[in-house]
Amino acid sequence: MAITTNDLKNGMTLLLDDGLFQVMEFQHVKPGKGGAFVRTTLRNVRNGAVLDRTFRAAEKVVQAIIEKHDMQFLYRDGDGCVFMDTDSYDQMTVADATLGSAAGFLVEGASVNLAMYGDEIVGVDLPAAVELEVTETEPGIQGDRVSGARKPATLSTGLVVQVPLFVNIGDRLKIDTRSGDYITRA
């Protein structure tokens, strides 16, 4: 759908020659001399790269329609993840490379929103935090309680995070999905 740069809004997705971009910020500028223009900050939806771009006022751009589908993660299948649409019960397999870092936070039965442009998955919306079980870590040594000390721990999904020394195998941890950091024991 073609729109003009005067109609831009934050969060809108545009299909440009360089790829698919989401508008993070925009500013309409009308200098004393010359024509008006729109200064934007855009984020590439596929790889997350951020760039600044300037458009002439009233320049035509193509708005991309991104659909969000409520999906439930069922299981891992080789190098992919199988999701089920909660409305139609259709199943689809998505490659781990497409999911990026989100694949490390998926537990069976978790609900996620998949952002799709046509048949292509361009984003995954996870809950703010997930609970995962520690499957492998070094045991904490009695008396080794240095303030702020951390050790690596492997979680049930294969994700490795830095945790405090008191965390042991079998503990359930709450992990922030935006940063991948340990929050607390669950």
Give the type of residue at 132.
Answer: L
Of 73-87, 97-111, 136-150, 164-178, least confident by mean pLDDT is 136-150
Residue written as tokens 């702020």?
Answer: 148
pLDDT at 77: 87
Rounded distance between C-alpha atoms, residue 108 and residue 36, angstroms: 52
Is residue 148 left, alpha or beta, with left meaning phi > 0 and alpha meaning psi from -120 to 50? left
Domains defined along the chain, listed by start: 2-63 (2.30.30.30), 67-125 (2.40.50.140), 129-185 (2.40.50.140)
Read off the pLDDT of residues 124-146 as tens digits, 9 standing for 90 and up.
Answer: 888 888 889 999 988 876 666 66
Cα 84 off chain centre by: 19
pLDDT of residue 122: 84
Answer yes or no: is pLDDT of 31 > 80: yes
Cα(174)–Cα(159) distance, rounded to whole angstroms?
A: 13
pTM to 2 decimals?
A: 0.70
User: Do the Cβ atoms of 114 and 69 come closer than 8 Å?
Assistant: yes
Q: Over 80: is that where the pLDDT of 105 sits? A: yes
Label residue 164 by pLDDT band (50, 70, 90): confident
CA distance 153 to 162: 6
